[in-house]
Structure 1
Amino acid sequence: MNSVLQCLLYARPLTMYFTQGRYRKDLNRTNPMGCKGELAEEYSALVVELNKRCYRYLAPKFFKATLASFAPQFEGTQQQDAQEFASFFLDGLHEDLNRVRKKVCDCNLDGMPDHLAADKAWNEYLTRHNSIIVDLFQGQYRSAMRCLTCGHESLNFSPFMFLTLPIPANPSVDIRACLQEFVRAERVNGWRCPKCKCARDASKTLSIWRLPPLLMIHLKRFTFSGPFRDKLSTRVDFPLTNLKIQDGVANPKLQEQKRDYKLFGVSNHYGNMSGGHYIAFCRDFQSRRWYKFDDSAVSPMPESQVCSNAAYLLFYSCLDFDHLGNSF
């Protein structure tokens, strides 16, 4: 929990949204999917206190108690998966801050060209989910299923919070190799083809259609095979600046933008599946220095040590907010 919260505190647009009190106009206390606005209120109080910078450390006991009242799995001190916590927490914030009060039904995308189907799916999604979390952290996948018998292709566009990347089975890889593995076509047996009207073998391809201003990358270090669980300790090299997401981008307009991202946080996991410890590395926007957050201990660190085989969650910020058409 601590490592994720530290990284999110360095997500400047989100932190400023709370410290400036802009979240209050979006509070949705009647959303049955949310936490009655209480999670957003407690997180705001935590952010404001931490930004006073007058504490050696701060124990977020009220925030943790509020979180546990809606999610009992976070009640004790047992270690939880950082990605699962981040996903639950950001989903909870989203529902507490959802600007939508009345939701509409899903739309039909059959037979539409890619760009029209993607825009319609995204706009329809925003009629049900519209918050600062969607504005900052959510992108859009393009999923294509192609029948290997008749060639018919069925498209689906869906939102994502984390860009979850598999790690290739090599001693050392870079982030681009993970992206290439992510977009590799997968054979699916028994898919019901809408054209053939029966079960067929198909090829499934996942690609990126829309990227968010703040990109969270989840490196799949934990693998499951039946009752067995394992952790991959492969070193994944990733850039601290000028990350370009090009492999797996299906949207021609996004390819033309050549968007660059800069790293501002890393949640690292040390240990194995049965136990371990999370430590955060974060870059301070003002000093431009990197810091190591190990529970209550905070210390400066050289940026040469930011990339390691313990990296689990990567937090990137788009270098240029101007062309995104949003004001945060």
Structure 2
Amino acid sequence: MSVSSEKQGLNQEYSLCMPKDFERSRNLLQQVYEKQVVLEYIFTRGITAYGGIRVNNRGFHKEVSVKYSIDQWKTASFKLTITNDELLLMLSTKDSTSSILPMSISFAICYVVHEHNFWDNNYSLDYILEIEENTEKRSKSILLDDAFRVQIAKDYRAISHGSDQAGIVCGLKNLGGTCFMNSVLQSLLFTSPLTSYFLLNEDMKNISVSNEIIVNEYLNLIYLLFCKKYAVIIPVPFKQIIGHMQDIYFENQQQDAHEFLLFLLDYLHEDLIRIKSTSIIVDLFHGTYKSTTTCIDCEHFSINFETFVCLTLPIPLTSRCTLEDCLQHLYEDEYLADDSRWFCSECQRLCNGKKRLEIYKLPKILIIQLKRFQLNHEFNWIKNDTLVLYPADNLSLQQSCPSSSSQQALYTLYSVISHQGSLNDGHYTTFCRDNEQLQWFECDDEKIKYFNSDKLDSNSNAYLLFYIMKNAT
């Protein structure tokens, strides 16, 4: 929804807010049955309000819209939302062409099914969003504003620790099929250099909720997870914001943890570049491949370099192997023949060749994906359940990266994401090491418990391994 002009600097100088705390109904299902449509939650970030709408599923063909007004209902407009049983609402002042800045937005929810209209208008009081000026000329920050911290905790419906739980890791509620997201967030939380950067770097105090949307919400989430005040948070705000960035994360359905990890790191990188023209994502996670292709006929060769964020390792088809076995398999020479022949600039024709891959530059944070899913000859996805033995300490990649010193190539394990089940019906959990307590935890969504690291070797479901370079600062 558009209500103001970019000429007025609304993106940076103004923000939407609820005039009073939105009270989520304790009898939500009962209200849905009675009213047929209910605004379940709403939260604001900068010039945008996000919300969830719950409807009674009275038919397959249905439509939900938001009726809103910026002039106390002298005029009104409609904004369509998506048509599911759980709907997402997003009202934004971002793209306005109006020259008048309204002081408030009144809105109500309309649900149309079988030619019947049902309304949630807050019991005839309407829902109200106010537009306020940011007097400090910068967005509120969870690192600076105590009142804002309280509001963010309410947005995430944070549940405080009991007296006997203080200090234990905070859990993340599964929203239906979002264990893939929770496992990645827990692993990144325990990536100490990344978390320290977000919570301690001065640049994080001045980020714009309008321009650096993902970074801002990630900071909110990481603060709640790290502050050790809460036992569980419900990551609806983070999930809804990334859903508007990438359609596949719009619904609460299972996705691949590896793909989500790459998506999140990429968006964090893009936002951070806008803040300071540099990125901690590059500093920590980026490594470099060196690819050498040699002509079989004349031995002419060419060298190419390529950035990587994650090492994807094939797993041998056996009952048991080591991580070193997987690494050796990756760096075997690849022969280029027939349809894969290589154009040799020396011979000036397509020639048979061989290609060798090695690591030229090691990242401080090494993420390894064990390639457990592959297509069989019938083009069906199958899972490789081979037990891969991986070291918890002193993983050496010097053989894979000849240009590195023996000290640079040593890594320590600090997180493992596991996948149980099949591709279409599976579940992710995370095992993380707390550097302060020197203690391992098993994070199964909101369920957190201590974990004996001696059992890591027997984990045949390991999917993503997170290592930190021993001399990383």
Match of 2:297 in 1: 149
Match of 1:286 among 411, 417, 436: 436
1-structure distance, mates of 2:461, 2:230 = 28
Q: Describe the superposition over 1:186-220 as per-residue Cα deviations: whole angstroms up to 9, x where unpaired.
A: 11122111111111111011100111111111111
Match of 1:90 in 2: 265
Contact 1:192 1:200 in 2 (8 A): yes
Match of 1:263 among 410, 413, 435: 413
SS at match of 2:414: strand
Match of 1:131 in 2: 279
Match of 1:242 among 388, 394, 403: 394
2-structure distance, mates of 1:248, 1:259 = 9
TM-superposed CA distance for 1:257, in Å, is 3.9
Residue 196 of structure 2 aligns with an amino acid whose one-letter code is M
1:175-324 pair list within 5 angstroms: 175-189=323-337, 190-225=341-376, 227-251=379-403, 254-307=404-457, 308-321=459-472
2-structure distance, mates of 1:57, 1:150 = 63
Question: CA, structure 1 residues 77+99, in 2 after alignment: closer, same or farther (shift >3 Å)?
Answer: closer
SS at match of 1:309: coil
Q: Describe the superposition over 1:292-319 as per-residue Cα deviations: whole angstroms up to 9, x where unpaired.
A: 0011100001011223110000011111
Correspondence 1:174 to 2:322: yes
Match of 1:106 in 2: none
Match of 1:114 in 2: none
Contact 1:180 1:247 in 2 (8 A): no
TM-superposed CA distance for 1:25, in Å, is 7.6
SS at match of 1:306: helix
Structure 1 portions without partners, runs of 5+: 30-34, 102-128, 323-328
Question: Post-superposition, which runs of at least 4 consecutive aligned residues in structure 1 deviate over 6 A?
Answer: none
Contact 1:147 1:200 in 2 (8 A): yes
2-structure distance, mates of 1:231, 1:138 = 28
Question: CA, structure 1 residues 185+22, in 2 after alignment: closer, same or farther (shift >3 Å)?
Answer: farther
SS at match of 1:24: helix
TM-superposed CA distance for 1:259, in Å, is 2.6
Contact 2:408 2:470 in 1 (8 A): no
Q: Describe the superposition over 1:240-291 as per-residue Cα deviations: whole angstroms up to 9, x where unpaired.
A: 111111232242xx04545311111001000012210000000111111110
2-structure distance, mates of 1:100, 1:188 = 44
2-structure distance, mates of 1:50, 1:10 = 10
1-structure distance, mates of 2:203, 2:374 = 38
TM-superposed CA distance for 1:36, in Å, is 3.4
Question: CA, structure 1 residues 100+48, in 2 after alignment: closer, same or farther (shift >3 Å)?
Answer: closer
Match of 1:104 in 2: none
SS at match of 1:62: helix
Match of 1:42 among 196, 201, 217: 217
TM-superposed CA distance for 1:78, in Å, is 1.2
> Percent identity, aligned pairs only?
38
TM-superposed CA distance for 1:48, in Å, is 0.9
Contact 1:17 1:23 in 2 (8 A): no
Q: Describe the superposition over 1:15-59 as per-residue Cα deviations: whole angstroms up to 9, x where unpaired.
A: 011112444389599xxxxx9310000000111111121211111
Structure number with the higher strand fraction is 2
TM-superposed CA distance for 1:224, in Å, is 2.1
Question: CA, structure 1 residues 199+27, in 2 after alignment: closer, same or farther (shift >3 Å)?
Answer: farther
Residue 383 of structure 2 aligns with an amino acid whose one-letter code is K
TM-superposed CA distance for 1:143, in Å, is 0.5
Residue 311 of structure 1 aligns with an amino acid whose one-letter code is A
SS at match of 1:262: strand
2-structure distance, mates of 1:147, 1:74 = 44
Match of 1:109 in 2: none
Residue 417 of structure 2 aligns with an amino acid whose one-letter code is S
Aligned length: 288
Residue 36 of structure 1 aligns with an amino acid whose one-letter code is N
Match of 1:11 among 191, 195, 211: 191
2-structure distance, mates of 1:100, 1:43 = 15
1-structure distance, mates of 2:406, 2:300 = 28
Which structure is higher in RCO with an 8 Å CA cutoff and minimum separation 6?
Answer: 1
Question: CA, structure 1 residues 165+59, in 2 after alignment: closer, same or farther (shift >3 Å)?
Answer: same
* TM-score normalised over the length of structure 1: 0.83
Contact 1:163 1:218 in 2 (8 A): yes
Correspondence 1:79 to 2:254: yes
Question: CA, structure 1 residues 305+63, in 2 after alignment: closer, same or farther (shift >3 Å)?
Answer: same
1-structure distance, mates of 2:409, 2:272 = 28
Residue 299 of structure 1 aligns with an amino acid whose one-letter code is K
SS at match of 1:157: strand
